[in-house]
């Protein structure tokens, strides 16, 4: 009886006893810069043990890990974060995303064929340097369905390695506290307080922003590497994988890359080494296709010689839809990055930000009872996504000659009816939140229901029970959560060890391998995977040498 009680208590309190080993607040750590070179300063031909294409969210931890015992070259098309001060702070987050894309800015814009504007990282540290910083681990179902045979002890250690380097816990901002209370009042319980674990209920989670608002993205994981074994080339645009063949098949032996003067370089992997694509869910399938690994009809239509036929390269591309409710609030609210997540038992994830936005058209001064200036409006935004999605589409090359020309991509949002049903459930929950006491303070007028809010249109239908209007809201307001993934999915393009099937000494390690997006937000899992696969590769090689 006592044992049973203890067991039940441990289930209830387990998450509160979580041992936290997070980073302690510190300044940016730029030690990695001693390993960083401008691609134009590197030799035209070189050899390393490992070549990693893309110094992003998964690529940086992978490079740091392999560098413990081997020479590693990272090739990143963007420049160093310190060239773009906006990426270094939480205050720069929105300004960075809104700035015009000049071909070199850290946020590369693209619009999917669905018509939804999107963005991907083009900077050392990848999309972890332009994202909202929320850090939360994968859900249990992800491990079961990812197609990878996880060693869960190693998974735990890999997460901890990331967390004690670049993950922080800060006090909740005023708005995040209101938002957390609203989730609890709307029934998204229990209150799980702070946890980096994926658990049903409402919790605060980690962030790669520290309490001073400094961003510590994946780039700072490079500092954990053996810097003398690590070389990072920035402004290095990889064009293609070099393959050689013999009776054992095709081997990836190196890559061709361009520097910013348009000079072409070759980098080779030594025998026993590998080429690893970590160019992200758009970049990695694009490079496989450019290199002749993909569906034959598509390769042929671009006159690309076939190295290995694989009908799934560029397919199973998915993006989790995001739907928002935005409201202007009647007082100055400090901007806040997401710190809280509501995780429902129906697999809806609800988060929020507050921001101060310039308002360009005239408004009556009576709108601002507490003296906020009409040129700077405080906006509270509640955002919803759901696990999956089930709908997917594909990515296709536009140019076979120019890697700088982005491929086209289509995600087919809500093509699967279950995705639409999940959105409706999630937005109903958001509708419930708007009717909580916690949200009352954000109203302009003390009116019943949602009448007192100043929504930025379009807002949720008043009648949350009406399926047709809820569905139409979901479709008409769809945008991206930036969690797009797929294109080199496990079990189709790569095997359980993330090796590209039909080739040798070539792997893919980034969000393109996912058939579903892990947890509420993927960056924690991507960083874990970079570390995890790196450790596995070291182990394999050590075992092979014996
Ligand atoms: C605006 C925004 C907000 C987000 N918010 C969050 C959040 O709060 N929490 C969270 O967990 N996730 C968030 N995400 C999602 C998360 O950041 C991404 O899913 C993740 O960073 C992707 O990691 P990756 O390793 O797959 O690719 P990336 O990190 O994008 O890395 C790919 C790298 O490869 C480089 N590259 C591509 N092609 C080439 C080439 N040909 N040659 C050389 N280099 C190349 C790119 O420049 C890039 O640096 C957000 C994303 C965005 C865009
Ligand atoms: C890299 O070199 C190119 C050409 O040599 C130059 O234009 C560019 O500014 C350099 N980048 C950095 C970050 O120094
Ligand atoms: C994962 O798989 C294990 C073993 O098959 C099972 O016991 C567990 O319930 C699964 N968990 C989820 C969340 O699917
Ligand atoms: C966080 O909150 C605690 C408890 O209220 C307080 O002691 C501490 O000073 C706060 N930290 C910061 C950085 O504001
Ligand atoms: C999910 O949570 C709601 C309360 O928010 C509860 O009514 C329902 O029974 C729960 N469903 C499951 C499957 O646990
Ligand atoms: C084929 O080439 C690869 C890569 O160069 C090499 O590792 C392998 O030993 C070769 N195999 C044969 C049978 O020659
Ligand atoms: C790479 O350089 C070659 C030769 O100068 C040029 O044709 C090609 O367009 C360049 N590609 C990129 C991505 O800069
Ligand atoms: C706005 O001002 C009124 C009257 O001065 C005050 O009662 C109220 O608390 C203020 N609201 C906020 C959110 O500051
Ligand atoms: C809300 O929609 C439901 C379903 O369409 C309908 O039955 C109900 O009458 C509507 N309620 C109001 C107040 O319009
Ligand atoms: C790394 O190299 C050291 C010697 O330099 C060796 O002792 C160790 O076993 C190696 N570890 C791995 C994982 O290869």
Evaluate whether 515 touches 316 at the Cβ level (below 8 Å). Answer: yes
pLDDT at 10: 38
Mutate to test the pocket of ligand 6, among 243, 247, 251, 253 (most ligand atoms within 8 A of CB): 251
CA distances to 49, 305, 383, 451, 472 from 477, in Å: 48, 42, 11, 20, 8
**Strand duo 191-194 + 201-204: pairing:** parallel
pLDDT at 358: 74
Instruction: Write out the DSSP string of 261-323.
Output: TS-EEEEEEEEEEEEEE-SHHHHHHHHHHHTTEE-HHHHHHTTPPPSEE-TTTTEEEB--EEE
CB atoms within 10 A of CB 342: 29
Evaluate whether 222 touches 32 at the Cβ level (below 8 Å). Answer: yes
The CATH architecture one would assign to domain 171-204+321-386+414-477 is 2-Layer Sandwich (3.30)
Domains 25-169+214-315+395-413+483-546 and 171-204+321-386+414-477 share a fold: no
Q: Could you tell me the distance, in angstroms and rounded to a whole number, from the CA of residue 119 to the centre of ligand 1?
A: 9
Distance of alpha carbon 363 from the chain centroid: 37
Distance of alpha carbon 426 from the chain centroid: 21
Would you give per-residue pLDDT tens digits along the chain (546 residues)?
A: 344 443 333 333 333 334 467 998 679 999 999 999 999 999 999 999 999 999 999 999 999 999 999 999 999 999 999 999 999 999 999 999 999 999 999 999 999 999 999 999 999 999 999 999 999 999 999 999 999 999 999 999 999 999 999 999 999 999 999 999 999 999 999 999 999 999 999 999 999 999 999 999 999 999 999 999 999 999 999 999 999 999 999 999 999 999 999 999 999 999 999 999 999 999 999 999 999 999 999 999 999 999 999 999 999 999 999 999 999 999 999 999 999 999 999 999 999 999 998 765 444 455 555 555 556 889 999 999 999 999 999 999 999 988 999 999 999 999 999 999 999 999 999 999 999 999 999 999 989 889 999 998 788 999 999 999 999 999 999 999 999 999 999 999 999 999 999 999 999 999 999 999 999 999 999 999 999 999 999 999 999 998
- C-alpha neighbours within 13 Å on the C-beta side of residue 321: 31
Q: State the closest ligand 5 atom to the C-alpha of 189, by its place in the atom list counted from 1.
A: 5
Mutate to test the pocket of ligand 2, among 81, 260, 262 (most ligand atoms within 8 A of CB): 260
State whether the beta carbon of 190 lies less than 6 angstroms from ligand 5: no
State whether the beta carbon of 211 lies less than 6 angstroms from ligand 4: yes
Evaluate whether 202 touches 351 at the Cβ level (below 8 Å). Answer: no
pLDDT at 458: 81
CATH match of 25-169+214-315+395-413+483-546 with 3.30.1490.190: no
State whether the beta carbon of 237 lies less than 6 angstroms from ligand 7: yes
- The pTM of this model reads 0.93
Q: Which of 56, 530, 517, 54 is nearest to 317 (CA)?
A: 517
Closest ligand to residue 210's CA:
4
CB atoms within 10 A of CB 434: 21
pLDDT at 16: 37
Query: Domain map of the chain by residue range?
Result: 25-169+214-315+395-413+483-546, 171-204+321-386+414-477
pLDDT at 367: 56
pLDDT at 7: 38
Evaluate whether 300 touches 79 at the Cβ level (below 8 Å). Answer: no
Inter-residue long-range contacts of 444-452, CB under 8 Å, 24+ positions, other chains counted: 444/328, 444/330, 444/367, 444/369
């Amino acid at each position: 009886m006592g044992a049973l009680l203890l067991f039940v208590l441990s289930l209830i309190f387990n998450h509160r006893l979580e041992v936290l080993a997070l980073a302690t607040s510190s300044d940016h750590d730029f030690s990695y810069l001693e390993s960083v070179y401008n691609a134009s300063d590197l030799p035209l031909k070189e050899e390393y043990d490992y070549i990693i294409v893309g110094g992003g969210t998964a690529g940086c931890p992978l490079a740091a890990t392999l560098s413990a015992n081997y020479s590693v070259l990272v090739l990143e098309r963007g420049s160093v974060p310190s060239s773009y001060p906006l990426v270094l702070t939480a205050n720069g987050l929105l300004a960075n995303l809104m700035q015009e894309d000049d071909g070199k800015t850290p946020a590369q814009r693209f619009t999917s064929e669905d018509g939804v504007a999107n963005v991907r990282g083009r900077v050392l540290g990848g999309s972890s340097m332009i994202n909202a910083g929320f850090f939360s681990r994968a859900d249990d179902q992800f491990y079961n369905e990812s197609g990878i045979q996880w060693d869960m002890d190693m998974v735990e250690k890999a997460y901890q390695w990331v967390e004690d380097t670049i993950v922080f816990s800060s006090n909740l901002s005023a708005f995040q506290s209101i938002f957390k209370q609203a989730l609890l009042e709307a029934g998204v319980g229990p209150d799980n307080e702070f946890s980096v674990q994926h658990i049903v209920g409402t919790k605060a989670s980690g962030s790669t922003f520290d309490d001073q608002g400094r961003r510590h993205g994946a780039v700072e994981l490079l500092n954990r590497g053996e810097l003398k074994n690590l070389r990072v080339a920035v402004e290095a645009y990889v064009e293609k994988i070099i393959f050689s063949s013999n009776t054992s098949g095709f081997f990836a032996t190196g890559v061709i890359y361009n520097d910013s003067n348009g000079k072409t370089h070759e980098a080779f992997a030594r025998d026993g080494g590998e080429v690893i694509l970590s160019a992200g869910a758009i970049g990695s399938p694009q490079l496989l296709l450019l290199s002749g690994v993909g569906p034959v009809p598509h390769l042929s239509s671009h006159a690309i010689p076939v190295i290995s036929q694989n009908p799934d390269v560029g397919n199973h591309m998915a993006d989790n839809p995001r739907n928002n409710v935005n409201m202007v609030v009647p007082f100055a609210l400090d901007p806040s990055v997401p710190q809280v997540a509501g995780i429902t038992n129906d697999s809806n994830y609800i988060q929020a930000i507050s921001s101060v936005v310039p308002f360009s058209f005239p408004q009556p001064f009576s709108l601002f009872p507490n003296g906020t200036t009409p040129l700077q409006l405080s906006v509270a935004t509640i955002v919803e996504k759901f696990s999956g999605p089930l709908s997917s589409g594909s990515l296709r090359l536009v140019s076979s000659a120019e890697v700088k020309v982005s491929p086209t991509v289509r995600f087919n949002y809500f093509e699967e009816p279950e995705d639409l049903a999940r959105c409706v459930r999630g937005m109903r929950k958001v509708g419930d939140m708007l009717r909580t006491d916690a949200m009352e303070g954000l109203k302009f007028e003390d009116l019943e229901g949602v009448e007192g809010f100043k929504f930025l249109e379009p807002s949720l239908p008043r009648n949350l029970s009406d399926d047709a209007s809820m569905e139409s809201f979901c479709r008409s307001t769809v945008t991206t959560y930036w969690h797009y993934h797929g294109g080199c999915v496990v079990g189709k393009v790569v095997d359980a060890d993330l090796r590209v099937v039909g080739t040798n000494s070539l792997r893919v390690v980034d969000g393109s391998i996912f058939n579903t997006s892990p947890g509420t937000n993927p960056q924690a899992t991507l960083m874990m995977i970079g570390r995890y696969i790196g450790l596995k590769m070291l182990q394999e090689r050590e075992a092979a040498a014996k």
